[in-house]
Structure 1
Amino acid sequence: MTLYTILPLELVLDGIQNDPPPYVEATVQGVTMQLLPLAPGIGKIVRLLSAPLDYYLLAEYAPGQTVCYHPTLEPRPAPELPDFGM
């Protein structure tokens, strides 16, 4: 790979060995997104992972927007449906 730049190499590669921040994947209103946690239940959108195509044009789902989500550590089991004897 060749990198053409007028910047010194130290500036270009600054922070390359730092660990990336901890991202969280969450589904909000049917849209799966990658979030950077800011506070418990609040995150900043990094990117959309799975969404209908028209959602990519909506400002509320743009990278950098904050959304509320509820982090779950374990998936909840499906509720038991009543048996009506049919």
Structure 2
Amino acid sequence: MTLYTCMPLELVYDGIKQQPGPFVDVTIGNVRMQLEPLSPGIGKIVRLLECPLDAYLRPELTPGTTIAYGGSGQR
């Protein structure tokens, strides 16, 4: 793999050996997303899994956004 970047290699490879997760799949309305739990009932959006195409344009569903989720819709 070749990377063409002006960033130092320490930043490019930072965290490469760390395991991601744990993640929770949550469905809110018609949007199924993957969350990284921060505390009980609160999580940070990692990515959208199943949703209408216009959901990708909604700023409240941007990855990195913190949202509250309840016990319903959890897998």
Which category describes the TM-score, using the shorter chain as reference length?
Answer: 0.7 to 0.9
Structure with the larger strand share: 2
Matched positions, count? 74
Q: Tell me, what secondary structure is at the counterpart of 1:18? A: coil
Aligned to 1:59: 59
Q: Is the 8 A contact 1:47 1:63 kept in 2?
A: yes
Q: Tell me, what secondary structure is at the counterpart of 1:45? A: strand
Which structure is richer in relative contact order (CA contacts within 8 A, separation 6 or more)?
2
Give unpaired runs (5+ residues) of structure 1: 76-86
Report the structure number with the largest CA radius of gyration. Answer: 1
Q: Is the 8 A contact 1:26 1:71 kept in 2?
A: no
Give unpaired runs (5+ residues) of structure 2: none
Q: Tell me, what secondary structure is at the counterpart of 1:26? A: strand
**What is the CA RMSD across the aligned residues, in angstroms?**
2.3
Aligned to 1:78: none
Query: When the two structures are superposed, what TM-score results if normalisation uses the length of structure 1?
Result: 0.68
Cα 1:58–1:9 change in 2 (3 A) is closer
Query: When the two structures are superposed, what TM-score results if normalisation uses the length of structure 2?
Result: 0.75
The amino acid that maps onto 1:2 is T
